[in-house]
Amino acid sequence: METKETIEQTIHFAQELDVFSLQVSLAAPYPGTELYERATLNGWFAKKDKAALVETDGFQQSSLEYPGLSKEEIRLG
């Protein structure tokens, strides 16, 4: 489960890397994966349509949210 603290840790880790570029993606809980099963069991899906992984503008959205961490906070980091 993601938290504000784990997001901050990941950002700090990425800043310490000596790389030319970096790509980060939101977790995508596809059916049949462990993340999908955990999200289903724990009620982490932000919308009833669990397949909604993309916004109408074509950008990936966070389909998950956790206690104390909204899908908007996850997307913005």
Residues 20-73 have pLDDT tens digits of 999 888 888 888 999 999 999 999 998 776 566 677 777 777 889 999 898 888
* Domain count of the fold of the chain: 1
Spatial separation of the C-alpha atoms in residues 3 and 46, rounded to whole Å: 15
- Calculate the CA 15 to chain-centre distance: 19
Span 8-16, average pLDDT:
93
Domain of residue 30, residue span? 4-76
Question: From residue 7, how far is each of 10, 11, 64, 76 by CA, in Å?
Answer: 5, 6, 14, 10
Among left, alpha and beta (phi > 0; psi -120 to 50; other), residue 34 is: alpha
